[in-house]
Amino acid sequence: MTIKYLNVLLLTIITTQLYAQPVEITNSLYETYDSYKEPALNKRRIKHQELVPLVKGYRNNPKFDVTTVGSSIEGRTLSLISIGKGETDVFLWSQMHGDEPTATQAIFDILNFLDSDDFIDEKEEILKNLRLHFLPMLNPDGAEVFQRRNTLGVDINRDALRLQSPESKTLKRVRDSLSANFGFNLHDQSTYYNAERTNKPATVSYLAPAYNYEKDINEVRGNAMKVIVYMNNIIQKYAPGQVGRYNDDFEPRAFGDNIQKWGTSTILIESGGYPEDIEKQEIRKLNYVSILSAIYTIAKGNYKDINLEDYEKIPENDRKLFDLKIEGVSYELMGSEYILDLGIQRPEVDMKGHNDFWYSSRIIDQGDLSTYYGYKTFNAEGYILKPGKIYPKTLKSIQELNKLNPLELLKSGYTYIRVEQLDENILYSPIPLHIISTTYKVPKFNLSVGKNPTFLLAKDQKIETAVINGFLVDLETGDSDFVNAMIYK
Between 6 and 431, where is the model more confident?
431
Query: How large is the average pLDDT for residues 322-334?
Result: 98
Q: What is the pLDDT of residue 384?
A: 98
pLDDT per position as a tens digit, 330-374: 999 999 999 999 999 999 999 999 999 999 999 999 999 999 999
**Is residue 248's pLDDT more than 80?**
yes
Helix (H, G, I), strand (E, B) or coil at 203: coil
**Is residue 434's pLDDT more than 80?**
yes
User: Which among 341, 316, 343, 320 has a CA at the least distance from the CA of 331?
Assistant: 341
Q: What is the pLDDT of residue 11?
A: 42
User: Which among 454, 457, 456 has a CA at the least distance from the CA of 488?
Assistant: 454
Query: Other C-beta atoms within 10 Å of 183: how many?
Result: 26
Parallel, antiparallel or unpaired: strands 362-367 and 487-488: unpaired
Element (H, E) at 183: strand 182-188
**Is residue 3's pLDDT more than 70?**
no
Query: How large is the average pLDDT for residues 236-264?
Result: 97
Parallel, antiparallel or unpaired: strands 384-386 and 455-459: antiparallel
Q: What is the CA radius of gyration of the chain?
A: 26
* Chain centroid to CA 362: 20
Lowest mean pLDDT among 391-395, 407-411, 422-426, 476-480: 422-426
Q: What is the pLDDT of residue 14?
A: 41
The mean predicted confidence, pLDDT, of the chain is: 95
Please give the share of the chain, as a percent, with pLDDT higher than 90.
94
Q: What is the pLDDT of residue 7?
A: 44
Compute the distance between CA of residue 299 and CA of residue 127 in angstroms, rounded to an integer.
Answer: 8
**Is residue 470's pLDDT more than 50?**
yes
Compute the distance between CA of residue 455 and CA of residue 384 in angstroms, rounded to an integer.
Answer: 10
Query: Which residues make Cβ contacts (< 8 Å) with residue 413, sequence separation at least 6?
Result: 386, 388, 389, 456, 463
- In this prediction the pTM is 0.93
**Is residue 4's pLDDT more than 60?**
no
Query: How large is the average pLDDT for residues 201-221?
Result: 98
pLDDT per position as a tens digit, 157-168: 999 999 999 999
Q: In this structure, are residues 458 and 467 in contact, taking their beta carbons and an 8 Å threshold? A: no
pLDDT per position as a tens digit, 123-132: 999 999 999 9
* Chain centroid to CA 411: 36
**What is Dmax (Cα atoms) for the chain?**
87
Domains plus CATH for the chain?
3-318 (3.40.630.10), 321-488 (2.30.40.10)
Compute the distance between CA of residue 366 and CA of residue 347 in angstroms, rounded to an integer.
Answer: 17
Q: What is the pLDDT of residue 25?
A: 86
Compute the distance between CA of residue 173 and CA of residue 49 in angstroms, rounded to an integer.
Answer: 24
Q: In this structure, are residues 475 and 465 in contact, taking their beta carbons and an 8 Å threshold? A: yes
Q: What is the pLDDT of residue 22?
A: 59
Q: What is the pLDDT of residue 357?
A: 97
The CA-atom distances, in angstroms, between 334 and each of 211, 331, 338, 341 are 56, 10, 10, 19
Query: How large is the average pLDDT for residues 194-220?
Result: 98
pLDDT per position as a tens digit, 79-129: 999 999 999 999 999 999 999 999 999 999 999 999 999 999 999 999 999
**Is residue 10's pLDDT more than 50?**
no
Q: What is the pLDDT of residue 223?
A: 98
Q: In this structure, are residues 102 and 143 in contact, taking their beta carbons and an 8 Å threshold? A: no
